[in-house]
Structure formats: C-alpha cells, structure tokens
Amino acid sequence: MADDHGLVAVTDTPPSPPSRSGETVTHDVLIVGGGIAGMESALSLGDMGYRVLLVEKAPSIGGKMVLLSKVFPTLDCASCISTPKMASTAHHPNITTLLYSEIETIRKDEHGLFRVRLRKKPTFVDWSACTGCAECEAVCTVAIPDEFNENLVARRAAHIAFPQAVPKKALVDRYGTSPCTFACPAGVKAHGYVSLVRAGRYEEAFRLHMEDAPLPGSLSRACYAPCEGSCTREGLEGTVPIRAIKRFMADRYYASHPVPEYGPPDTLRRERVAVVGSGPAGLSVAYHLARRGYPVTVFEAAPQAGGMLRYGIPAYRLPKDVVDRDILNIEALGVEIKTNTRAGSLSELTTNGFDAVFLGVGTYDGFALGVDGEELDGVMDAMDFLVQANTGRLADLSGKTVMVVGGGNSAIDPARVALRLGARKVVIQYRRSRKEMPAHDWEVDAALAEGVELRLLETPTRFLGTGGRLTTVESLGMRLGDPDASGRRRPVPVPGSERETPVDLVILTIGLKPSTSPFGDEVALNKNGTVKVDAETLQTSLPHVFAGGDAVTGPSMIAQAIGQARRAAFYMDRFLRGERLDGLRFDEPLPVVDKADALARTPGAAPRPAMTRRERSIEERLRSMVEVELPVTEEEARGGATRCLDCGGCSECHECVHACPAHAFRFDMREERIDETVASVIVATGFELFDARRKPTLGYGRFPNVISAMKMDRLLAPTRPYNAVLRPSDGKTPDNIAYVLCTGSRDCTVDHRLCSRVCCMYSLKQAQLILGALPLADVTIYHIDIRAFGKGYEEFFEQAKGMGISFVKGKVATVEEKADGGLIVTYEDIEGGGGRKRMEHDLVVLSVGLLPNREALSLFPGGQLQADDHAYVREMDEDTEPGRTSIDGVFVAGCASAARDIPDTVLHAGAAAAQTAGYLARSRRVR
C-alpha cells in the first residue's frame, strides 16, 4: 500500500500556483456565483488549502437563500443560517471575493488554464473605507424599488444591499447621468437639486447648486433651461418644472439669507488672479477660484457688476435685486469687484502682480446692418437699447412707433421693453415667416400677447430721416425660397414690393461680437473676434491667460458661460499650482441615460395633470418692469419635483458624500476590467424564478393581490418590509389565502415540463408561517401532487395538514378580480365531485417554479459549456460524476445544473468541490 501518489500537502500557506510551461495562475479555482452553492464549494476548497476566487454579480454574497424567510423543513431562519456561511466565506484566508462583478468570458488556453475576463462594476464607494453605518441611506433623496425585497418597498439609491449583506458596504445605483443634468452647460446637477427640493431640503438644494454655479437666482429666471428640454417626463404630461423649482429654492434661500452664510476662506493662497469682466463667466471664475483660496480681483468697466445679467436682460425677466444678491455670493468670498475700472493691458496686469488672468469680456458690440441711414439718430443697436433701458437712461417712448429688426430672442426683449417704456406701437420685422423665427415660441407668444406686432417676410432697405433723425423705414417684401445650409428656407426679395413705414425708433438685432479688441495685440483672436483657446483647458495663447463665456463662444447662453468658467477655474487652479494641464479631463460624467430605459424602469409612471406657469396680468406687466413670471408655491415646487422619474437613479445630490463619516464616496469611480488566470472553474450561477406574467390567466402583474411566492417569503422574512402580512391592494390583513402550485412548472404551455422540486415545500412552509402570523386565516393549497420527498419533508407535510391547511387537488385555470380586490379562483375540483368550481380568496400566491439561469452557458465562448435539453448546464455523468461538465476542469454546483432544494444544493456543491480538488490534484501530478 505504498503511497506514491504523494499527498497534496497543504499547510497554512496555500499551495503554490500550478505552473506549466511557465504559466502561472492567480487562483486555483474560480467560482462563479456567491449563493449558497458557490459559498459551500468555496469554503470546502478554501479549507483544503486551494486559493479560491469567488465572483458574484450582486453587491453581497448570499444569493437567494439569505433573502428567504425561513427554510423547510426545520423552519430555521434563513438569514441566521446563511450569515455564518457568508461571514466565513468573506473572512476565509484562502478565498478572495470579488463582488458586484461580472464575468465576460472564460477561455481555456493551450496549457489547460482558464483565462478569465471580468468587469468590476463601480459601487461609487471606497469599500475599504466604508463601515456600513448606513448614514448615506438616511440622507439619500432618491427612492428605488428594493429588488432584495421583491420591489415591495423602496430603498435608497445610496444603500446597503440588505441588512445582512456581507460585506456590509454601501453602493450607489447610477444608471448614467440623468438627461437634465447631462444637458446643463453649466454643469449644474439639475436632478440633484430637484430631488433635494422633493425631499424638502431646500437649503441643501441651494448649496448643491453652489457647488457648481454661484448664480442660482439669475439662472432660475434667465436660463433657457436645456434641462427641461431634455426631461424624460416630456414624454408623459410634460417636463418637470426644473427652472421654477430652482427659482423656488433660490428665492426661499435668499429670503432667509439676505447675505451669504459664509465668508472668505481661512487661508489664502499667494497667487493672485485678475478677472476681466463681471458677467456670468467672470463672476463664476472668481467664485470658483476664490473658493480654492485665491485672492481674485474683478475688473468691470461698467458702473455695476453683472454684465449681461445686469445690462442685457430686462428686469421684467430678471429683477436686478436678484442679480445683486447673486453677486453677494461671490463677494462674500472676498472677491474684489472694481467697477468703473478698465483692466488695462494683460502685461499691466502681470506688472501689477496678477499671476493669472481670466478674460470674460462680453459681447456688447453690434454688427452694422450695412443699410443707408443706419447712422441716423433713432436707429439703435439692441444691446445699446437694453443697456440704456436697464440703467434708466432711456427716454420715455410714449406715443412712439418702434420697429425691432430681427427674429431671434434678442428681438423679443427690446420689443417688450419698448412697450413698457410707453411705445404706442411696437413691430418686430423679420425677413422669413414665423416658423423660421429663431426666438423661442413662448417668447414670441408672450410678446404678441403684450401687443407686439409681427411684420414677417420683410427686411429694411433704407432708413430715412430729417435733420439727422429717423422718420421712416423703407422695407422690401420677401418670399421663401429653397432651404439654406441651416435647413431654413432662404428669404428671396420680391421685386417691386418696397414700402415705407413711419417709425420713430429702429432697434437692430443683427448680431453681437465680443468686446475683445483691447486684448487683440496680446492674445490670439479668431477672425470673428473671439479669443482663441484650447477647447479643453480654455487656455489662450498666453499660458497664464484663460478665457471663457461669450468672449470665446460669441453670444451664447448664460449657463454655457458659467460652465466655461467652471472649467477655466479648474485648469487655472492647476496652472497656478504648477500642475500639468494635459492628461486629464475636467469633467467626465457617466453617459447620459436613455429615456426609454428610464421609462422602462418606472413602469408605474403615468401622465399627471399638466402644470401651468403663472404670470402677471398684461395690464400689470406693461405698467412697469415688474417681473412677469410669478413664483411657484412650496407645494407646487415639491409637487413638481415629485414628478421627477429619477432617470439616472442617483440624482447626484451629494447628500451621501457630505453625510459619510468615513468620506468613502467616490463619484468618479468607473468600471474596471480585470484579467485572471485560474486552473479550474466552478459554475454556481443558480436559477431564475419563473415570471408569472407568462401565465396571463392567473392575473399576475394585473391584479395587485396576486403575488409571487418570493414576495410572500419577503413578507414573512425577519427583515420583512411591513412587519406584517398584508395584501398589496389595500393593506388589509388577508383572511383567506390561496396557493397555486406548479405555476410555471410541469406546464408545457410555458415550455417548462420539469418539476421545480421546491415549490410544494416552500408553499407548505409559507402556509405554516402564515398560520403563525395569522392564526385565524384560511390557507388553501391548489396542487397536482404534493411532493414532500426529502428528509423530514413528509413529516412537514403531515404537520401542515394537522394545522388545518386545506389541500385541493386541481390546477387553477383562471384568477379574476372583484371590485373590492378579492379574487375568484376557478379550478377543476378533481376530488370534490369534479367539475369547475369557483372560490373566493383575499390573496393568491403563485408558487412559481425554478428555471435555468442561462447566463451560465454564455460564460464560455461558442457553446463549449454544454447545456442539457432544458438549458441547464449538462452534467456528463450525473450518477457517478456529479458536477462534471463538458469541459475538463469546469464543474457545476447547485441549481445551475438542475432545480435543487437547499440541502441537495449544499451536498452537490460539496461534491463539485471534491471533483475540483481531484482535478487539481491530478493535474498537478501529471506535471
């Protein structure tokens, strides 16, 4: 009895990896799936000394077993008997668990080793820091159906998978960037503040906004809200009123905080920054850099700060006290704004000790129309007109006729201002038709409502006047020709259609160009006058000078200027610290969420009554520059916010980031790819539950009180959602509960002829637990056979009968719903005299069957891992070689190869471990 086989010597240190032809493995065994089978195999092999890599796609090990209430036939608490296994697995020195990770492929190489490609999904939490304290759950503002509770209740986007999760670590559900947030050029997290307002956390909402942009008051009035333009809710009753919500939160905050609640940073950096221009871009750069500790000086040629906010946008859209309060947000940080002060040349700024400069000049210079008489008194550029109106320098227009030339948004503001200044008649002249007008429809509508007239298909050809003063406009009629490059139909002059109109004031809105000329000698400009910059860093041709806003883009949206400022500040900070500007991206949001996916995730979402925006009456409006749009109430703001579909999952409200005592959140975490080489594989991918919607006659998915048995297990679990057995439709305690066995099993109509093995027993278990919770309830089990075949099972069945549970032999054909939520079950009463019978129940539980998890078969390329006739992983010799598959070195454990109850799964997993160990030992001896 010589032992020439040699012991597989296993000591405290795991065996060295097998090595053939210089190939090494990272682990001896890869186990796919961390349910009870995977854990059992892992523990057996780990105890034998093999190094195990256990990969689980969920954020916790434990699989489905840990979610069960109790388990038959011993009625042990499933979590109580799962958690020790989970803890042993997690802490085993020879087992490495890789959670929240998916296998992409496993390939067997020429040395017989398995090359594994893995994808580690981002949790957005540094698990080495997370302590599982669940503070994040307490503050998270997004509710998501809790899949671990069978979607019976909601959990939070930032969450711990379930109370007994191992490891007990938080993760954040992020499906991508929500469309609203993704659309914001300023980088403001629209979804974030909407969800904070929904949660009633208005100050937090304001502060979140301030992380990205310091001008919430102005943006809440004057922004064109691309966020709303991309809102998924648009597909239902209409967009979430995001801008109105922002205005609510900003107004409310400003009402209680007349001045900012913060001051300058405690410590200041040495490097000084000059900002040229105090428009939205300049103010934002100043804000972001001041927050980082830089002393910032803003140079503003005008008498007051704010740029376009103050001078370009009429007060009826953006009241100037709001601009004032917004600017306090910047000044409170110690930013010095020098008004009535030109910055001087860039070299002067350097001489004066500024280490970096931001050029944020606006677009105040209008283009000339190139029409005779343009120089006449009474022909004005729109920007001049608006600046004068905003500074109160404009004469009364009472009785005057005003013609605004152009069809963009920039034409609407002067027209409406002119009306407010008393003009008798205000006309917008545009050379194409209304359809082609670039102005937003609602702006045009508002202007028309106030009395502005449109003169379409007409363009000015000459301004006539007497004594240098405009009296008449000569115009030419147009018709629409072929589409031009922009796709709009080109206006074509109609010969002989000239006409003259008496006009007192013409306002031209032909276009604006940046006021960059003073710096043209020092930094490179583009032909159109914009500053030449690096698109990513916004650095100009001078390394210490950055530029943004209209100076770079030409006339654009406020939000875009603010976004550029945020970007410029990021790179200016790096520049001033002497760090590299290349090799990194300023902002890399997750890809935008697909709206169809977002809607699919919220199947309950239905259109609600549309929300209307309220405005002042026209009479009231025209009397002064008073703000047209009326604020929304708290109720409206929160109500509007509750319409949010949470497209991205997490709203990026960052409450978790602030609440985490361990500072563990990492929103920049991204998917990771991992390669491993292993000597053997165990497939323990478990099963899937039958989707009872495939049996439409049973009403699952249509009738709330028809539930799946897994839901009932959650209702009965120690960590149950309601702490009671309730029926879903009305929260009533059910008195009369039916079980429909063989739902999706032994049923060729759903192409699943197999018996699922566990349903009889789990139904008996649930019935017994229900009688424990509701001693007076009636429980009826409709069955074909009661298959109580395992150790102690028949005795368990007898016990159930003894408790008064009724057994009816007969398959349920249909379930119908009554008005009160009750359910009528129709079945063939085989043993009660035969024939079709109807019975009423409060709650119907469908004992759904087990189906193969087809993911197992796609682990290996090209169908190498053979399936049996039922799409389970095929065991080549079930009788004497349990667990052995079609690939040498690959084994299967548990329900991946057949429906099994827990005891059989544990035994099978133990067998798979023995087979794997034998394979490893044999292949080592071969070497």
Q: Is 395 exposed, middle or buried (0-12, 13-18, 19+ CB in 10 A)?
A: exposed
916 in Cβ contact with 909 (< 8 Å): no
CB of 565 to other proteins, least distance (A): 38
Contacting other proteins within 26-45 (CB under 8 A): 36, 43-45
Angle, alpha carbons 878-875-893 (nearest 5°): 95
49 binds other proteins (CB under 8 A): yes
Nearer to other proteins, 72 or 175 (CB): 72
Residue from 237, 795, 820, 840 in contact with other proteins (CB under 8 A):
795
Nearer to other proteins, 11 or 617 (CB): 11
Distance CA 761, CA 777 (A): 19
Closest CA to 506 of 392, 396, 426, 390: 426
803 binds other proteins (CB under 8 A): no
CB of 55 to other proteins, least distance (A): 20
CA 77 and chain centroid, separation: 36
Contacting other proteins within 850-909 (CB under 8 A): 870, 877-880, 882-883, 898-900, 902-904, 906-909
Phi, psi of 445 (to 5 degrees): -60, -45
Residue from 654, 787, 841, 874 in contact with other proteins (CB under 8 A):
787
CB of 101 to other proteins, least distance (A): 21
Nearer to other proteins, 543 or 834 (CB): 834
Closest CA to 566 of 248, 281, 337: 281
Read off the DSSP letter of residue 748: G
Distance CA 242, CA 220 (A): 9
Nearer to other proteins, 78 or 274 (CB): 78
How far, CA to CA in Å, does 829 sit from each of 323, 763, 812, 838, 871? 77, 20, 9, 9, 34
Nearer to other proteins, 334 or 903 (CB): 903
CB of 889 to other proteins, least distance (A): 14
Contacting other proteins within 390-409 (CB under 8 A): none
Nearer to other proteins, 133 or 236 (CB): 133
Q: Quick one: which segment of 296-304, 372-380, 581-589, 918-926 binds other proteins (CB under 8 A)?
A: 918-926
CB of 91 to other proteins, least distance (A): 7
Nearer to other proteins, 38 or 373 (CB): 38
CA 737 and chain centroid, separation: 40
Q: Quick one: which segment of 435-443, 464-472, 851-859, 916-924 binds other proteins (CB under 8 A)?
A: 916-924
CB of 890 to other proteins, least distance (A): 16
Nearer to other proteins, 132 or 631 (CB): 132
Phi, psi of 40 (to 5 degrees): -65, -45
622 in Cβ contact with 101 (< 8 Å): no
619 binds other proteins (CB under 8 A): no
Closest CA to 296 of 346, 356, 362, 340: 356
Residue from 22, 790, 858, 863 in contact with other proteins (CB under 8 A):
790
Nearer to other proteins, 508 or 758 (CB): 758
**C-alpha distance across the termini of the chain, in Å:** 23
Residue from 809, 817, 826, 839 in contact with other proteins (CB under 8 A):
809
Residues contacting other proteins: total by CB under 8 A: 84
481 binds other proteins (CB under 8 A): no
Residue from 416, 757, 765, 874 in contact with other proteins (CB under 8 A):
757
Distance CA 532, CA 546 (A): 10
811 binds other proteins (CB under 8 A): no
Residue from 786, 808, 815, 851 in contact with other proteins (CB under 8 A):
786
Distance CA 872, CA 884 (A): 13
1 binds other proteins (CB under 8 A): yes
Taking residues 813 to 852 in sequence order and writing x for each that binds other proteins by CB under 8 A, - otherwise, the string is -----------------xx-xx------------------
Q: Is 560 exposed, middle or buried (0-12, 13-18, 19+ CB in 10 A)?
A: buried
Residue from 232, 539, 564, 915 in contact with other proteins (CB under 8 A):
915
Nearer to other proteins, 2 or 776 (CB): 2
914 binds other proteins (CB under 8 A): yes
- The tokens for 191 are 């979804």
Residue from 620, 789, 813, 840 in contact with other proteins (CB under 8 A):
789
Read off the DSSP letter of residue 589: P
Nearer to other proteins, 93 or 696 (CB): 93
Nearer to other proteins, 87 or 599 (CB): 87
Q: Quick one: which segment of 178-186, 222-230, 394-402, 913-921 binds other proteins (CB under 8 A)?
A: 913-921
CB atoms within 10 A of CB 352: 12
Nearer to other proteins, 87 or 839 (CB): 87
Would you say how long the chain is, in residues?
927
Contacting other proteins within 53-72 (CB under 8 A): 71
Residue from 674, 755, 803, 839 in contact with other proteins (CB under 8 A):
755
Distance CA 716, CA 69 (A): 6
844 in Cβ contact with 772 (< 8 Å): no
7 binds other proteins (CB under 8 A): yes
How far, CA to CA in Å, does 734 sit from each of 70, 776, 779, 787, 843? 20, 10, 10, 26, 6
661 binds other proteins (CB under 8 A): yes
785 binds other proteins (CB under 8 A): yes
Question: Sign of torsion, CA 643 648 654 655?
Answer: positive
CB of 31 to other proteins, least distance (A): 13
756 binds other proteins (CB under 8 A): yes
Phi, psi of 585 (to 5 degrees): -110, 140
Contacting other proteins within 673-702 (CB under 8 A): none
853 in Cβ contact with 840 (< 8 Å): no
503 in Cβ contact with 404 (< 8 Å): no
Residue from 480, 754, 824, 871 in contact with other proteins (CB under 8 A):
754
Closest CA to 781 of 802, 767, 798, 793: 767
Q: Quick one: which segment of 10-18, 113-121, 205-213, 415-423 binds other proteins (CB under 8 A)?
A: 10-18
Taking residues 274 to 303 in sequence order and writing x for each that binds other proteins by CB under 8 A, - otherwise, the string is ------------------------------
Residue from 23, 76, 522, 594 in contact with other proteins (CB under 8 A):
76
CB of 201 to other proteins, least distance (A): 19
CB of 848 to other proteins, least distance (A): 16
CB atoms within 10 A of CB 1: 2
Q: 95-110: b or e for each residue (b if 16 or more CB lie within 10 Å)?
A: bbbbbbbbbeebebee
- The tokens for 628 are 């047209």
Distance CA 462, CA 379 (A): 11
Task: Give the three-class secondary structure for 733.
Answer: coil
9 binds other proteins (CB under 8 A): yes
Per DSSP (E only), the strands in 635-699 are 672-683, 687-689
Distance CA 529, CA 520 (A): 8
Residue from 20, 732, 746, 837 in contact with other proteins (CB under 8 A):
746
Contacting other proteins within 90-149 (CB under 8 A): 91, 128-129, 131, 133, 135
Closest CA to 715 of 759, 773, 757: 773
Nearer to other proteins, 486 or 880 (CB): 880
Residue from 51, 85, 159, 654 in contact with other proteins (CB under 8 A):
85
CB atoms within 10 A of CB 630: 11
